[in-house]
Structure 1
Amino acid sequence: MATLQKNYRNIFVIGASAGGLEAIISMVKALPDDLPAAIFIVQHMPPYAQSNLGTILQHHTNLEVKRGEDGEVVRSGVIYMASADRHLIVEDNRVVVSKGPRENRFRPAVDTLFRSASVCYRERVVGIVLSGVLNDGTSGMWTIKRYGGTAIVQDPEEAIFPDMPSGVMQYTEVDHVLRADEIGKLMGSICRERIVPTSGGAGLTDEKLLQIEIGIGKGDNGLMMGLLEHGGPSPLTCPECHGALTQFEEGHLVRYRCHTGHAHTGDSLLNSLRDNLEKSMWELMRGMEEARLLLERMADKIQEGLGDELAQQYRERALRFQRQAVDVQRMIITSDPSYSGTQLDATTKPAGE
């Protein structure tokens, strides 16, 4: 078994999302075959996806590429891949695979991996964030830096989706901004440089909270672990379970977690709330259109036996519901951040107008 040497930066944790496949391949192709390090990769994916990423990467490297298995010992020269719908965590020099609560709308989540690695390996950790949307990885990278680790991001100018590397650069001091292939080359050299161990945790205000959050990622109960004793109250609720959100601050980054464990940065929370709001508006529109259809059918039946006056009242009420449904549909369209002002047409007008 190839063991990891202490006092070297030989733990690489990598996070990617949309557009990350190309960057991961470029990075892995540049790695030396005798890399004396362990690599952990979280690539966002749908919960029930069957990913071929490991097979693809194996075609570009002689390092072993495998899915992380719960309880296995971390070995040098291995690339560990996260599985769909499971967090990838490291603890006590072993891999932990869990179905803890989603973080930033994802499982596996980059922040979950980064936090666990920083506590386990401290200054030996090198965090790498590649192309992706929103800012999963920003909080985890902040923790890596607090423990003396190294922060590397893909150059946003090269990234297909620059949100994730840009988010790290906004909230955390970054050591290297490089193209994906340059990151692979740097990994081959930085892991051979001897480092001086430190006590770690510089700038951390609540190490107990960090332990609780790692436990939540593993599937432990955050409420029973005392999560509510940390952070501060907020007027917001979790978009996933509707529980009250507690607010935490890491430097200038504000993030939230509910007592059941779901975690959000401000950006991911805003996107979740927007999605839920749109869903509610479509349901409201559906209800109005169903009321319109019912009233029209009632009017047809009433006209057959009770005359035109009552039927006309029903049809007028149906028309009001139709107009209100159109107003809601317009609101849905215009509330989208990408709305250009040219997407409303005759299909959003009530019939006969």
Structure 2
Amino acid sequence: MSKKIELRSDTFTLPTPEMLDAMIHAELGDDVYGEDPTVKKLEERAAEMFGKEAAILVPSGTMANLASLMAHCPRGSKVLVGDESDIYIYEAGGATVCGGIMYEPIPTQPDGRLAIDDLQKGFPNDLADPQFALPALICLENPHNRMGGRVLPLTYLAEVQAFAKERGIPVHMDGARVCNAAVALTVSVAEVAQYADSLQFCLSKGLSAPIGSIVVGDREFIQKVYRIRKMLGGGMRQAGVIAAAGYVSLNSMIKRLEDDHTHAKQLATGLDSIKGIECDVKTVDTNIVFFRVQDKRFTWQTFVEAVRQQGLYIDELGHGRIRAVTHSGITSQDINQALLIIQNVLNS
């Protein structure tokens, strides 16, 4: 059988030999006591790179976002969050269940933005009226997963930051793939992070580490997240084993994200040329490609299964659209083979 081509997600990335070696030789301690030197080194490096005072390692992006929302928002308040965002759709309603926080879904624009006019509607006309839950936080997703990996412009981020400051609430950025955004914009991650009071990013997606996400922010905020992480069960002991791989990923895996973006464009361009496939190349900013199957012989389910039988793994991600995500395990040759499989299935 030919090589399996895994395009369902960049969470399928595997740690590099350098990461595995670093994990084996990591200096360890008990991180719940704050005594794991490798975790400390990773957190200090992340804070420095993102231009924030402090950082904290957590097991997952879901926990990173949840702990951040709980640190920002008092019980009975609400968070303004995109109706197509991962926080709203894919994180099991954790802020409501664990934090007593209400989600206010804001319409998501095709490029991932939340329009300022729509954010304004999330604020009651009379803030003193006790009937209303009051906004305590604005959440942005950058790049935006369900809108196709779209990158939010820096000018827009500045606009939201100014809007939030005028109303006295912070901005949290779900930046699971924010390093992809920075690479696409050809700026440092700190230039993107400066527009958010807090930000979480994943080590285990395009950066190819096996486990972990990081929250960055000011020291007082990170101390709140530290306590909430423990409450949620995220306190880890010799977590330097995880942190060692994350440290390598921050230092050696960001620049290579350009390759993933190139491969995504290659895939989108190829899909656009195949009869029976609808794909808008202009919307591909990072490593995520969405497309639709227009051939009436197929549903998305039967199409996904048909290409899987030939070794190509893709999946649906909302509204009947199929998502493909490039990553460090995918080469240009793999993209060519994926396109050949899709063409063969449609020709069958």
Range into which the TM-score falls when normalised by the shorter chain? 0.3 to 0.5
Task: Give TM-score scaled by structure 1 length.
Answer: 0.32
Larger-Rg structure:
1
